[in-house]
Amino acid sequence: MTKEKPEAWLPLTPAMFHILLALADKERHGYEIMREVDERTEGKMRVGPGTLYGSIKRMLNDGLIEELDERPDPDLDDERRRYYRLSDFGRRVAIAEAERLDKLVKSARSKKLLSARGT
């Protein structure tokens, strides 16, 4: 069951936003999501298995992500892996959260908490 407006889901938990970001450019399985978050954040954010799969379960139920029926290459893959992708609604929620965070960063810059060049 999805809420009608993406903004009704905000703010997302950091784990949920990172999972949506990981799925924004391609379909991934759970371990690949954890690795992508770790790499993107340079190890500053780690999504452990409990958080990951608890979040995935909730996000599946809420219609933010979908589990794939097909496998990328069954001959080269472990059949136990489950692959996920963003739903259209999940993409809209991720965009709304990114826009919300962008406004916060702009406010921080206007208050001289961040430099104009982003450092």
Residue 47 domain boundaries:
10-93
Residue 29 lies in a domain: yes
Q: Give 8-20 pLDDT, tens digit per residue.
A: 999 999 999 999 9
Q: Is 110 contained in some domain?
A: no
How are strands ordered across the β-sheet holding 83-86? 28-29, 83-86, 65-67
pLDDT of residue 71: 67
pLDDT at 19: 98
Does 3 reside within a domain?
Answer: no
The predicted pLDDT at position 72 comes to 62
Q: What is the pLDDT of residue 102?
A: 97
CATH number at residue 69: 1.10.10.10
Name the region of 13 (left: φ>0; alpha: ψ -120 to 50; beta: rest): beta
Average pLDDT, the chain: 90
Domain count within the chain = 1
Which residue stretches of the chain have pLDDT < 70? 1-3, 71-78, 117-119
2: tokens are: 């999805």
Tell me what pLDDT residue 73 has: 61
- 33: in domain: yes
